[in-house]
Amino acid sequence: MFEFQLVNRCPNSAARRGRMSTAHGTVDTPMFMPVGTQATVKTLTPEELYEIGTGFILANTYHLNLRPGPEIVRKAGGLHRFMNYDRPILTDSGGFQVFSLAKLRRITEDGVEFSSHIDGSTHFISPETAVEIQQSLGADVIMCFDECIPYPSSYEYAEKALERTSRWARRCKEFHQREDQALFGIVQGGVYEDLRLRSAREIVDIDFPGYAIGGLSVGEPKEVMYGTIELLEVHLPADKPRYLMGVGEPEDLVEGVSRGIDMFDCVLPTRLARHGTAYTATGKLVIRNARYAEDFEPLDRECDCRVCRQYSRAYLRHLIKSGEVLGLRLLSYHNVYFLVKLMKNIRESLENNSFWVFRRDFLKKYRIKREEDC
């Protein structure tokens, strides 16, 4: 059911153009996956996601395990039917919650015991449990259970987590049964080059249909993140997809693609929208600011989404300042559209061998400092 095909490569970088086929459709890469943590991309309907042009979206195993529970999703016919989204879905394994819910969990060799952030109840996720939950959810791509560590972490802790992640990856592959799902391995190792290379070797040796780079965008400097991606690029199979987990800043998408990444996901577009911030061609725009109270220009003059075509900055500011849900919806729509369209433009530049020019021009314009940010 799962297939990845490389279409072409950038002649002067590691950037690649590909195509990924699943049981729920074919998606072009490189691509950005909006995050639908609890089987919904916050404030947006599936119909709006189709209109935007999304392919894959991501759902969260840990949260869906707590509510409504994998058995209810299975009885509904799987995640696609449950949330009425008939394009590809990827589910994470709960490994990120090992990092983000550090105060609510206890790690053992068998797995991780979590105290629910909802009601304090205890839940145990092992590599086998993580796969079992994801098989019940029925996503097209599922992830191995891993130990995502914070930044900074000691060398000793990073090494121990790496070794555990490799052992868990073998257990995940042994337990996985659904042939209509692709199980991806995850490379860990923190910011230590030798550990990253060791993790890559061990995970690649297990042989998965795709590989993710985990444990980045957790507080480390961007230069460290970019350097880690560059380090791993030649050590991950060229004929399989590469997924950079939890990264969604526009400049990071462009830089990640230039270093050979095919897949990205992040909560940022909808999270920023809820805080009144929008992506634009010249950087982030904080629509809450008083300077936009009488600004009747589009949110982003270069964007062709329906929000930018139909609504002014002044109106959007009014909605956000008034606490109206419509404001969150419109900004979320625009931000997700912005990243999906950015990836489409990147793919087009790869097709006509102009990616390096696109990268230079985009970053030069996007990194302009606004007065409000100075």
DSSP strands (E only) in 54-94: 57-59, 89-91
**Alpha carbon of residue 354 to chain centroid:** 25
DSSP 8-state assignment for residue 35: B
Strands 57-59 and 283-286: unpaired
172: phi then psi, degrees, rounded to nearest 5:
-60, -45
28 noted as active-site residue: no
Tokens, residue 141: 């791509």
> What totals of helices (H) and strands (E) does the chain contain, helices first?
15, 16
Catalytic residue among 140, 146, 262, 265: 265
86 noted as active-site residue: no
User: Using alpha carbons only, how large is the chain's radius of gyration in Å?
Assistant: 20
Q: Distance between CA 261 and CA 271 in Å, rounded?
A: 23
Q: Distance between CA 100 and CA 249 in Å, rounded?
A: 19
Nearest Cα to 148, choosing from 201, 94, 195?
Answer: 94
What is the four-CA torsion angle of 77, 79, 85, 86, rounded to 10 degrees? -60
Count the neighbouring beta carbons within 10 Å of the beta carbon of residue 188: 30
Catalytic residue among 86, 92, 207, 373: 92
Q: Distance between CA 303 and CA 300 in Å, rounded?
A: 5
Q: Distance between CA 299 and CA 312 in Å, rounded?
A: 6
Residues forming the active site: 92, 265
